[in-house]
A and B are shown apart, each in its own frame.
Chain A
Amino acid sequence: MSQSATTYSQNPIHPSSFIPHPSNCVLHVHDLHKHYGRVAAVRGIDFTVQQGEIFGLIGPDGAGKTTTFHILGGVLEATAGEVQVLGQPARDARLKIGYLTQQFSLYLDLSLDENLRYVAGLREVDAQIFQERRRKYLQLMSLDWFSDRLAGQLSGGMKQKLALCCALVSQPELLLLDEPTTGVDPVSRREFWDVLAALAAEGVTVVVATPYLDEAERCDRVALMYDGQIQEIGTPAELKRNLGLHRLEVHTPDLASAERILTSAPSTHLIDTQTFGDRLDVLVSDPQAGEAQVKQLFAQHNLDLSALESAEPTLENVFVTRLRQQGSAPGFFEFPRARGGQRRATDQIAIYANKLDRRFGEFQAVKNVNIEIRYGEIFGLLGANGAGKTTTIKMLCGLLPASAGDISLGGERGNLRTSELRRRIGYMSQKFTLYDDLTILQNLEFYSGVYGVPRKLRREKIDWVIATCGLEGQENMLTGQLPGGWKQRVAFGSSVMHEPDILFLDEPTSGVDPLARRQFWRLINDFARNGTAILVTTHYLEEAEQCNRMSFMVAGETVLEGSPSQIKAAQPGQLLEVVVTASERHEPNPTQAASNVLKQQMEPWRVSIFADRLHVAINDPAEIDAVRSRLQAAHLTISSIRPIPYSLEDAFIGVVQRTQVKP
């Protein structure tokens, strides 16, 4: 790394902008470039991170985030530019860096304790200090009960927390986290971020990439990366302010038509319309004029407007709007249907399971699950990591025999493994469904051929997948070189080319950026409209709103089932939304502070951080005063506190936690 100085001087653009870092600057990145052959992955990025900061890196898939992390971690050599970690080149500072990748970097056949001891040994941590830290961090992550358990038996969220523990054992000053919560359920994600906040408060510096923008709101500063460059950098509040727009939350029973009308309306005030969960976010340049216009449009088209509220834009609004301005929103292309949109009678049951059981030895993974999904229906199977969703899917599609119970798939009862039946089924498993050592085109040719898509139709369908994924001209790239989010898109395409009647999607949008996720759901809806029965799992609850029906699984059992509105209506008590701002006493992260205060006196699951606000579940509306006084006692300024209806994510957190708390 001694050439870092020379590479720097080779760069004629900023010859004098190098400022020696102040003492509390932990990470300094200057004009960083990385080329893979002729492809430029990172094209000149600059930023500094101060001690104790949580610095977020957000951007679409393939923006160069992972490459940046590789260079920061000293794993990859930069093509040009300079990275200084605590005043040293990244490679020399590796002992001071904790690094966590998307894949669980654990030894799955070792126990939790053995994993920790191994890392400590590797990093030469003194035995006594190790014991102290081990106790401290396991407690912080609430993993202290499981120290004997094999890492492979932990749920996804616990694995990531353990991986973080391992990264912390050597007490790094800088934590590099590359999408640590991908594939982790909403409850565990919040716990994970609470831990990060606690660590940052102790002075650990965190650089984190995440596809969840509500998480990014919890960062001190955020850099929006696009196409190898940083487009914008600042606090979440600054980014939102810079957008210069206001947000209208529009609630209506008919989201799809409302979105279509608002998007296509020629208007100077309505800048952008985005579906978000069960509402529309309409971004307007002027709140009053925009509101009037929305109301007028709704009246004009005889649409029912249940509620309209003016609010600040969210980071997700910023992300989506900025990328749409860049013209990088993935396009929607009509799927070339050979059957001409032949619709099935929607009263027929496509997937049916009755009293499904599955045991692995002593462990009962699935207990007494009933499912009925009709053609044309989108059914969501939701649950925390390890709740038994994937096992259920594998049983339903015949990959795994059930220990007990009846299954019927596409009208077949006994043998779920016939070639005829499988031709009518599409399946996208949780991970790595493509051959990494084949090109994108070879993969698509393979899947279209093996599913028996007639030769003359294959070209058209393959072109559709490539256009949908925005991969024109890159068909001959090796699939293994695609960023994770893109792989997911190609995998989805390859699982629907044969126009399946029944589609199983196991976390299809895991690790996919927000824009591409919207495209995914447009496609899913399109297939459902054409009569496909779809079973989908996801950890993004706001997209789960688009399911017709869903069931929540906890520990292998279905605990709640119904349409999104039924599920939300079934939630007990009242939900409060609390927005706090920093008071005269300087508090860098008032929301986190408020959460910590409330959790001391309430059951922890009742308080969850949603972006820049808190959701607090209370049993009795009268408790609102108690909440207010507690926050005031802690010198936190409440800028608003009000009862709100449950979102699916609130419902999920409540259901999962209440069921788990039960003995």
Chain B
Amino acid sequence: MKLFRRLIESRFWVLSVKEISQILRNKQLIFLLVFPPTIQLLIFGLALNPDVQHLKLGVTDYSNTPMSRELISALTANEVFEVKSVTLDEHALGEQVRRGQITAGLVIPPNFNRLLKSDQPAEVQVLIDAVDANTAGIANGYMSQIINQFGRQFMPNVVPPIQTQATILYNPGLVSSWFIVPGVIGLVLNLGSSLVSTAAVVREKDTGTLEQLLMTPAAAWEIILAKVVPLFVLLLGEVILALSVATFIFQVPFRGNIFLYLFFAGLYACVGIGIGFLLATVCRTQQQAILTSFFINLPLIQLSGAIAPVESMPKFFQIFSLANPLRHFVTISRGVLLKGNGLDVLYPEALALFAFAIVLLTISTNKFRTQLS
């Protein structure tokens, strides 16, 4: 009770009350913390699908036998490929690839059936449009795999030296949104925390009240902390909203401890707020701050592994991304949600986030006083 009274009497309390009143009056801010995250989650989760399906396939089947038709139906069976055109002219097929009408072309030679029947290796020609390198690679992989499997039935005696028995863990259905959504939660939290905190400081600078605030006896840390606390609560609300979208709409499993998750999210919110404050103290106007935040946030997101896995980046960027706090949070987010990891596994990431939060908030507090000159 005594502690409570001291809190009520303190300058920190007065500063916080002011921040909260300003936030409550700012309908736009509340809107920004609710709608864009939801929409980002939906768009990234639904539209950003790395699976390759319904690739357009062109076929030139000179053989035109049940055997060749069987190969074609093997390719189209799991909907990876879809036959778009059938011609009897391989030049026309090449032309279709060139025009982008089909992604892959398959040429089956006239002697295809005969060669297979006589246990000789048959050759088919595959043309792949590799303008989209990623798709092309995957199409090539599927194509070789399916054709090899198809071929194996003609050599029942040959046993491959190694057989794989893969068990798919954590995401048995291989639902790609399970991978994307926990990462995008990090992305949303990052954008929300840095933008909102930048606005909170730059607005004071724009309207000139900052000067007045700096002349009051309030210490920089009090001013900063009073700005952090209400934002922190708001951002945790944003995280809970994002988690609800993840579990109810995308059915992402929640295998870990929700409080642990919120703890990490809070830690990352502090990092984001630190980034925002630092931006705000360096920039003179709102416009500058927003443009600079794009410059910082986009690389942070791209190097975080939220959308594309870190492992597929060049070695240099993989190491470089260790300096990206968002990368650590994305790892944590996936670990807690999908794998049910606890602190025993995630402590290196947690320590990294701690370090980031402390460094960023300390620098911005120190910069805060001197920013007018």
Known: A399-B373, A400-B372. 12 other contacts (CB 8 A): A394-B372, A419-B218, A429-B208, A433-B209, A433-B211, A433-B212, A438-B18, A446-B14, A447-B216, A450-B14, A450-B218, A452-B217
List residues 422-449 of chain A with CB under 8 A from any CB of chain B: 422-423, 425, 427, 429-438, 442, 445-447, 449
Leading 5 A-B pairs by shortest Cβ distance = A449-B14, A427-B215, A423-B217, A419-B217, A432-B208
A399 touches B372 (CB 8 A): yes
Asked whether A645 is an interface residue with its Cβ less than 8 Å from the other chain, the reply is no
Question: Interface on B for A, CB 8 Å cutoff?
Answer: 8-9, 11, 13-15, 17-18, 21-22, 25-26, 207-209, 211-219, 369, 372-373
CA distance A452 to B219 in the complex (A): 12
Q: Which residues of chain A are near B213, meaning CB under 8 Å? A: 450
A442 touches B18 (CB 8 A): yes
> 1/0 per residue A381-425: CB within 8 Å of B?
000000000000010010111000000000000000101101101
CA distance A433 to B213 in the complex (A): 9
CA distance A429 to B216 in the complex (A): 12
If the complex has contacts A399-B372, A400-B372, are A450 and B215 also in contact, measured as CB distance less than 8 A? no
Could you tell me the distance in whole angstroms from the C-beta of B353 to the nearest C-beta in chain A? Answer: 31
If the complex has contacts A435-B209, A442-B21, are A450 and B11 also in contact, measured as CB distance less than 8 A? yes
If the complex has contacts A417-B369, A429-B208, A432-B207, are A445 and B14 also in contact, measured as CB distance less than 8 A? yes
A433 touches B208 (CB 8 A): yes
Q: Which residues of chain B are near A425, meaning CB under 8 Å? A: 215
A-B contacts, 27 of them at CB < 8 A, read: A399-B373, A419-B219, A422-B215, A422-B216, A423-B217, A425-B215, A429-B215, A430-B208, A431-B208, A432-B207, A432-B209, A435-B18, A435-B207, A437-B26, A438-B18, A445-B17, A446-B15, A446-B18, A447-B216, A449-B11, A449-B13, A449-B14, A449-B17, A450-B217, A451-B217, A452-B11, A455-B8
Could you tell me the distance in whole angstroms from the C-beta of B62 to the nearest C-beta in chain A? Answer: 68
CA distance A173 to B184 in the complex (A): 59
CA distance A235 to B349 in the complex (A): 78
Closest to B285 in A: A109
Q: Which residues of chain B are near A446, meaning CB under 8 Å? A: 14-15, 17-18
Could you tell me the distance in whole angstroms from the C-beta of A146 to the nearest C-beta in chain B? Answer: 24
Could you tell me the distance in whole angstroms from the C-beta of A502 to the nearest C-beta in chain B? Answer: 11
Count of inter-chain pairs, beta carbons less than 8 A:
76
Could you tell me the distance in whole angstroms from the C-beta of B325 to the nearest C-beta in chain A? Answer: 31
CA distance A434 to B13 in the complex (A): 19
Which of A394, A422, A435, A437 is within 8 Å of B217, CB to CB?
A: A422
A401 touches B373 (CB 8 A): yes
If the complex has contacts A450-B218, A451-B217, A452-B217, are A435 and B11 also in contact, measured as CB distance less than 8 A? no
Q: Which residues of chain A are near B217, meaning CB under 8 Å? A: 419-420, 422-423, 450-452
A399 touches B26 (CB 8 A): no
Q: Which residues of chain B are near A438, meaning CB under 8 Å? A: 18, 21-22, 25
Interface of chain B, main secondary structure: helix
CA distance A435 to B22 in the complex (A): 9
CA distance A449 to B218 in the complex (A): 10
Q: Which residues of chain B are near A455, meaning CB under 8 Å? A: 8-9
Could you tell me the distance in whole angstroms from the C-beta of B371 to the nearest C-beta in chain A? Answer: 10
B212 touches A429 (CB 8 A): yes
Could you tell me the distance in whole angstroms from the C-beta of A183 to the nearest C-beta in chain B? Answer: 14
Which of B26, B215, B373 is within 8 Å of A397, CB to CB?
A: B215
Considering residues B9, B14, B22, B218, which has the most beta carbons from chain A within 10 angstroms of its beta carbon?
A: B14
Considering residues B8, B11, B208, B215, which has the most beta carbons from chain A within 10 angstroms of its beta carbon?
A: B215
Question: Interface on A for B, CB 8 Å cutoff?
Answer: 394, 397, 399-401, 417, 419-420, 422-423, 425, 427, 429-438, 442, 445-447, 449-452, 455
Could you tell me the distance in whole angstroms from the C-beta of A198 to the nearest C-beta in chain B? Answer: 35
Could you tell me the distance in whole angstroms from the C-beta of B189 to the nearest C-beta in chain A? Answer: 26
A399 touches B21 (CB 8 A): no
Closest to B13 in A: A449
Q: Which residues of chain A are near B13, meaning CB under 8 Å? A: 449
Considering residues A400, A420, A433, A436, which has the most beta carbons from chain B within 10 angstroms of its beta carbon?
A: A433
Q: Which residues of chain A are near B218, meaning CB under 8 Å? A: 419, 450
Could you tell me the distance in whole angstroms from the C-beta of A14 to the nearest C-beta in chain B? Answer: 42
CA distance A394 to B21 in the complex (A): 29
A434 touches B215 (CB 8 A): no
Q: Which residues of chain B are near A452, meaning CB under 8 Å? A: 11, 217
CA distance A419 to B211 in the complex (A): 15
Q: Which residues of chain A are near B212, meaning CB under 8 Å? A: 427, 429, 433
Q: Which residues of chain B are near A450, meaning CB under 8 Å? A: 11, 14-15, 18, 213, 216-218
Could you tell me the distance in whole angstroms from the C-beta of A370 to the nearest C-beta in chain B? Answer: 22
Could you tell me the distance in whole angstroms from the C-beta of A5 to the nearest C-beta in chain B? Answer: 38
Which of A400, A431, A437 is within 8 Å of B373, CB to CB?
A: A400
A399 touches B207 (CB 8 A): no
Q: Which residues of chain B are near A419, meaning CB under 8 Å? A: 217-219
Q: Which residues of chain A are near B369, meaning CB under 8 Å? A: 417
CA distance A446 to B211 in the complex (A): 15
CA distance A450 to B223 in the complex (A): 10
Could you tell me the distance in whole angstroms from the C-beta of B299 to the nearest C-beta in chain A? Answer: 28
CA distance A435 to B21 in the complex (A): 11
Q: Which residues of chain A are near B26, meaning CB under 8 Å? A: 437
Q: Which residues of chain A are near B11, meaning CB under 8 Å? A: 449-450, 452
Closest to A426 in B: B215
CA distance A442 to B22 in the complex (A): 10
Could you tell me the distance in whole angstroms from the C-beta of B21 to the nearest C-beta in chain A? Answer: 5
CA distance A536 to B215 in the complex (A): 16
Q: Which residues of chain A are near B21, meaning CB under 8 Å? A: 438, 442
Q: Which residues of chain B are near A451, meaning CB under 8 Å? A: 216-217
CA distance A422 to B13 in the complex (A): 19
Closest to B211 in A: A429
Which of A420, A427, A436, A447 is within 8 Å of B207, CB to CB?
A: A436
CA distance A646 to B141 in the complex (A): 96
CA distance A430 to B21 in the complex (A): 25
Closest to B215 in A: A427
Could you tell me the distance in whole angstroms from the C-beta of A1 to the nearest C-beta in chain B? Answer: 31
B25 touches A437 (CB 8 A): yes
Could you tell me the distance in whole angstroms from the C-beta of B225 to the nearest C-beta in chain A? Answer: 13
CA distance A436 to B214 in the complex (A): 18
Could you tell me the distance in whole angstroms from the C-beta of A25 to the nearest C-beta in chain B? Answer: 42
CA distance A430 to B25 in the complex (A): 26
Closest to A458 in B: B14
Could you tell me the distance in whole angstroms from the C-beta of A503 to the nearest C-beta in chain B? Answer: 11
Closest to A438 in B: B21
CA distance A420 to B11 in the complex (A): 13
CA distance A400 to B21 in the complex (A): 30
CA distance A446 to B14 in the complex (A): 6
CA distance A436 to B216 in the complex (A): 18
CA distance A434 to B209 in the complex (A): 6
Could you tell me the distance in whole angstroms from the C-beta of B7 to the nearest C-beta in chain A? Answer: 12
CA distance A33 to B18 in the complex (A): 36
Q: Which residues of chain A are near B15, meaning CB under 8 Å? A: 446, 450
If the complex has contacts A438-B18, A442-B21, A446-B14, are A399 and B215 also in contact, measured as CB distance less than 8 A? yes
Q: Which residues of chain B are near A449, meaning CB under 8 Å? A: 11, 13-14, 17
CA distance A501 to B232 in the complex (A): 37
CA distance A588 to B17 in the complex (A): 59
Closest to A430 in B: B208
Closest to B11 in A: A450
